[in-house]
């Protein structure tokens, strides 16, 4: 079965105030250094992967901000993938983009190079909230980016939104969802804000300068987005993801189905041959390991059969349809309901999961409590 390919571009023009992803300030010398490392990493895997594992049906370039690279650098990454891997015809090829870093020309260049899905980090449609988040763009730029992407030929666009922000009201959120629907994206990812320790936003909340969004407001926002998107014809297919029919993100589905993928670039994660690992985060360490012909991997974990089963369940439960009992039986030669008998019984009694239509799935009550449910399976 073809694998998914994830490529991490660890640069941003400016660090957002809520972000703890691995990213560095954009600096051309550093970018050249990183690109050389990435090429060596692809060459490394070309030698050790089987021909089947070099076939990829989904490519996702994320970050960081891939679109902060200068002309030719991002398309150059895709050219390198073409050189070292086999991109299957019809592959889904996504790049993340920040609305403040794209132009009509850059979008045309990306589309012509083979990118066929664009994921834009819009996050909010309110100027004050975007400023609070430390985003470099406003909603007008996001609207323009969508228009330019359409003109460039992108027919598959995802927009990211965040809710549960300090100072955000339910009315703000309703307005944001409505503004976003006017842009008619094929796909929407709507995440609640996680206040990550060490970020300026979390510091401001800890110091009492900002009040965190109350839990019940956040829950109300989640219900609002589910209702509004369902009324607009979007299918809620994963806890935080909604798509028009046929437009689910194939790359992310591969994660939730616990399939195999290779992550390239600093801090990228992989899951191949029953082993999970993460690449080192620091760019110089990443590049120098590759110069020495070594894999830049750490936290290498060979999964036991039981661990693979657990992962299959808690990743699959992220999907609204849940985990297929047949697929589980086929893969592991064991019944999911027997392997996790106690957990399923307890969680069913609490009304958090249910067995329906050949799947184990979260109930409406379990959906906002998903993390609590997942913890029962590990």
The sign of the dihedral angle between the CA atoms of 358, 360, 366, 370 is: negative
User: 173's torsion region: left (phi>0), alpha (psi -120 to 50) or beta?
Assistant: alpha
Strand duo 86-97 + 117-123: pairing: parallel
Closer of 145 and 317 to ligand SF4 (Cβ): 145
Could you tell me the smallest distance in angstroms from the CB atom of residue 68 to ligand SF4? 8
CA dist 73 and 32 (Å) reads 9
Could you tell me the smallest distance in angstroms from the CB atom of residue 331 to ligand SF4? 34
Binding site for ligand SF4 (CB under 6 A): 12, 15-16, 19, 21, 23, 63-65, 98, 121
Closer of 30 and 55 to ligand SF4 (Cβ): 30
Q: Which DSSP symbol is given to 374?
A: H
CA dist 268 and 6 (Å) reads 7
Closer of 65 and 240 to ligand SF4 (Cβ): 65
Could you tell me the smallest distance in angstroms from the CB atom of residue 207 to ligand SF4? 21
Could you tell me the smallest distance in angstroms from the CB atom of residue 139 to ligand SF4? 16
Could you tell me the smallest distance in angstroms from the CB atom of residue 65 to ligand SF4? 5
108 CB-contact burial (10 Å; exposed 0-12 / middle 13-18 / buried 19+): middle
Q: Which two tokens stand for residue 189?
A: 């990812």
Closer of 121 and 296 to ligand SF4 (Cβ): 121
Closer of 23 and 270 to ligand SF4 (Cβ): 23
Closer of 97 and 152 to ligand SF4 (Cβ): 97
CA dist 127 and 205 (Å) reads 20
Backbone angles phi, psi at 25, to 5 degrees: -65, 145
Closer of 63 and 322 to ligand SF4 (Cβ): 63
The CA R_g of the chain, rounded to the nearest whole Å, is 21
Could you tell me the smallest distance in angstroms from the CB atom of residue 14 to ligand SF4? 7
Yes or no: say if 193 and 164 are a contact pair by the CB < 8 Å rule.
yes
Closer of 16 and 183 to ligand SF4 (Cβ): 16
CA dist 244 and 202 (Å) reads 34
Could you tell me the smallest distance in angstroms from the CB atom of residue 279 to ligand SF4? 16
Query: Starting at the edge strand that comes first in sequence, how are the strands of the sheet with 353-356 ordered?
Result: 323-324, 359-362, 353-356
CA dist 98 and 63 (Å) reads 10
Could you tell me the smallest distance in angstroms from the CB atom of residue 123 to ligand SF4? 8
Could you tell me the smallest distance in angstroms from the CB atom of residue 225 to ligand SF4? 20
Q: Which DSSP symbol is given to 13?
A: S
Q: Which DSSP symbol is given to 164?
A: S
The number of beta carbons lying within 10 Å of the beta carbon of residue 141 is 19
Closer of 145 and 344 to ligand SF4 (Cβ): 145
């Amino acid at each position: 079965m073809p694998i998914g390919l994830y490529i991490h571009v660890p640069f941003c023009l400016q660090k957002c105030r809520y972000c703890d992803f691995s990213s560095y300030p954009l600096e051309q010398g550093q970018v050249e250094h990183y690109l050389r490392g990435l090429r060596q990493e692809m060459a490394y895997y070309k030698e050790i992967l089987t021909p089947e594992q070099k076939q990829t049906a989904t490519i996702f370039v994320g970050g960081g901000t891939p679109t902060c690279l200068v002309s030719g650098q991002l398309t150059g990454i895709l050219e390198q993938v073409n050189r070292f891997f086999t991109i299957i015809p019809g592959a889904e090829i996504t790049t993340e983009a920040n609305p403040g870093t794209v132009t009509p020309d850059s979008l045309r260049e990306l589309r012509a190079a083979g990118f066929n899905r664009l994921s834009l980090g819009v996050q909010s449609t309110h100027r004050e909230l975007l400023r609070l988040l430390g985003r470099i763009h406003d909603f007008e730029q996001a609207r323009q980016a969508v228009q330019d992407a359409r003109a460039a030929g992108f027919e598959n666009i995802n927009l990211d939104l965040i809710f549960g922000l300090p100072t955000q009201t339910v009315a703000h959120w309703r307005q944001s969802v409505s503004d976003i629907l006017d842009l008619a994206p094929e796909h929407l990812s709507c995440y609640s804000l996680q206040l990550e320790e060490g970020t300026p936003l979390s510091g401001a909340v800890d110091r009492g300068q900002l009040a965190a969004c109350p839990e019940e407001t956040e829950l109300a926002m989640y219900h609002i987005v589910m209702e509004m998107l369902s009324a607009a014809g979007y299918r809620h297919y994963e806890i935080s993801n909604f798509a028009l029919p046929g437009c689910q993100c194939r790359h992310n589905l591969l994660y939730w189905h616990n399939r195999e993928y290779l992550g390239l670039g600093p801090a990228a994660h992989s899951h191949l041959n029953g082993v999970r690992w993460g690449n080192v985060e620091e760019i110089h360490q990443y590049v120098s390991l590759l110069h020495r012909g070594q894999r830049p991997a750490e936290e290498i974990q060979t999964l036991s059969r039981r661990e693979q089963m657990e992962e299959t369940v808690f990743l699959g439960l992220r999907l609204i349809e849940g985990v297929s009992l047949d697929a589980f039986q086929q893969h592991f030669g064991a019944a999911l309901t027997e392997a996790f008998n106690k957990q399923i019984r307890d969680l069913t009694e609490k009304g958090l999961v249910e067995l329906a239509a050949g799947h184990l799935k979260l109930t409406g009550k379990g959906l906002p409590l998903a993390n609590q449910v997942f913890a029962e399976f590990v």
